[in-house]
A = this chain, B = another copy of it.
Amino acid sequence: MPDPHRVVIIGGGFGGLRCAQALARAPVAVTVIDRRNFHLFQPLLYQVATGALSPANIAAPLRSVLKRQRNARVLLGEAVAIDARVRAVRLRDGADVPYDTLVVATGSRHHYFGHQEWEAFAPGLKTIEDATAMRRRIFLAFEHAERTGDVAERAALLTFVVVGGGPTGVELAGALAEIARHTMAHEFRAIDPAAARIILVEAGDRVLAPYDPILSGKAVQALTRIGVTVRTSTQVIAVRDDGVDVTSAGATETIPARTVLWGAGVMASPLGRIVAESIAAETDRSGRVMVEPDCSVAGHPEIFIVGDLANFSHDGGKPLPGVAQVAMQQGDHVARLIRSRLDGRQLPPFRYRDLGNMATIGKHLAVAEMGSLRLSGWLAWLAWLFIHVLKLVRFESRVLVLVQWAWYYVSWNRSARLITGDEGSKADSGGKIADSA
C-alpha cells in the first residue's frame, strides 16, 4: 500500500477544522497545525470580553475534537514559511512538515489602518487573550471610577467608545450598556454605573453595513433604547490614552474616554503574506490571498486558502465576507475537492450559499436576515440564541453556555467578570491595580 496522500492544514479555526473533519473517511493523512491547542468559537468572543462566559466555554481542545479521527494528527506549532518547491511547511522550531496538499486557514487579525500605535489604547478582539485583556479594561474602568474624586476623570472613566459598527462593535456596545445599567446596578457606592456613556462610532453612514438597511435602522433603535449613543458618518482620527478625536461633517471633536474598544478593521494574518511571497501569489489591500474559483492559488492547484485569509471574488466581484459560514463552506469544499481528485473526478467551483446574518444587541434584542426574511426584536433574538447554542462544537459547552445565559437572563449577573492578568501573578507581593490597567 502506498503512503497516503498528506494533507496539511494550517489553522484550526472554522475553515481548517471543518476541512479536517470532512476528510475523516478519506484515504489521506491529515495534519492540523495550530499555534493554540484549541478551536475558538470567535462569534462569542465578545461575551468573554464582557464577562458573560469563560474562555473555555467557547473553546474546544483540538486534540479532543479530533481524537476519534484516526487519520488526523494535531501539531502545536507556528508555521513560519512555506517551501512550495519541496512542498513542506517550516515551523518556528525548525521542523519541516511535508505535504501533498496544503490548506492555509489562519484567518485575520484586527487592523488599525496604518495606526498600529492605537492598539495600546484601543484593543481589538480576535483571541482569548484579547478578550480577557478587554474584560480587564472594562471592569477596571468602573473600579477606578469608584475610587477617583476627580469629576472629569470619573466621567472619562465612565465613557466607553466602541469603534466600528459591524457585528462585533454592535454586540460589544450592547453588552456594555447592559453591564452599566443592569449588571452593575447596586454594586457601587460612590458612582452610578448607569450614568456610563457608551458611544458607538462608525465611519460609514449606517451600522451593520452588510445587512439590509431596514435592519441597520432597527439595530440603531435597539441600541439607542438601551442607552448606546450611535454616531455614524463619524471617523476616528486619533486614539490616545485619555480619549479619541473624531471628525464628523467637517467638525473635529475630542471625546474624553478611558476605555476605547476596537471593532473596526481586519487584516489577513501574517501567514498570508508569507504564503503569497513564497509562491508569488497576488494579495489584496488587506493582505488576503486572491484565490481561484476552487479556492486554490493560481498556478498551485495543491495549495488552498480558505476563510478570512482568502479573497474569493468570483460571484460578481465583491470578495466574500470574513464570516464563519464562508470559512466552513470553503473548508468543506476543499475537502470534497481533495477526495474527488484522489478518485479522478471533477468538481464544480465553490459557490457560497449565504445562510444569513445575525447580530445580538441585548436581551430580547437582535437583528437577523435569512434569505428574504428580515427579523428584529424577540424573534431574531431567539433565533440567534438557538443557532449559536447549536453551533458550539461540544455538547458540554452548550450546556455550560445555556446555564450561564439562563442565569444572566434572570439575574443580569455576569459571573465571569474577573479582572485578571499576568501582572497580578508576577508582582504578587506588590501587584498594583495600576499595573493591570
Once A129-B424, A130-B425, A421-B129 are accepted as A-B contacts, the answer to whether A400 and B404 lie under 8 Å apart by CB is: yes
Q: Determine whether A256 belongs to the interface, using a CB cutoff of 8 Å to chain B.
A: no
Q: Determine whether A315 belongs to the interface, using a CB cutoff of 8 Å to chain B.
A: no
CA distance A95 to B78 in the complex (A): 46
Contact between A415 and B433 (Cβ–Cβ < 8 Å)? no
Q: Chain B residues near A101 (CB, 8 Å)?
A: none
Residue of B nearest to A185 (CB): B67
Residue of B nearest to A66 (CB): B187
What is the copy number of this chain in the assembly?
2
Q: Determine whether A59 belongs to the interface, using a CB cutoff of 8 Å to chain B.
A: yes
Which of B60, B61, B74, B425 is the one whose CB lies under 8 Å from A127?
B425
Residue interface mask A35-70, B partner, CB < 8 A = 1: 111100000000000000011110111011001100
Q: Determine whether A115 belongs to the interface, using a CB cutoff of 8 Å to chain B.
A: no
Which of B129, B394, B404 is the one whose CB lies under 8 Å from A420?
B129
Known pairs A61-B415, A421-B422. 5 more at Cβ < 8 A? A36-B418, A64-B413, A67-B187, A76-B147, A400-B403
Which of B37, B68, B419, B420 is the one whose CB lies under 8 Å from A186?
B68
CA distance A74 to B127 in the complex (A): 31
Q: How large is the interface on A (under 10, 10 to 19, 20 to 34, 35 or more residues)?
A: 35 or more
Contact between B418 and A396 (Cβ–Cβ < 8 Å)? no
A window 375-390: CB within 8 A of B: none
The 5 closest A-B pairs by CB, nearest first: A129-B425, A54-B54, A56-B416, A63-B187, A76-B143
Q: Chain B residues near A133 (CB, 8 Å)?
A: 422, 425
Q: Chain B residues near A419 (CB, 8 Å)?
A: 36-38, 76
Once A404-B400, A428-B109 are accepted as A-B contacts, the answer to whether A56 and B418 lie under 8 Å apart by CB is: yes
CA distance A221 to B411 in the complex (A): 46
Once A129-B425, A433-B77 are accepted as A-B contacts, the answer to whether A38 and B418 lie under 8 Å apart by CB is: yes
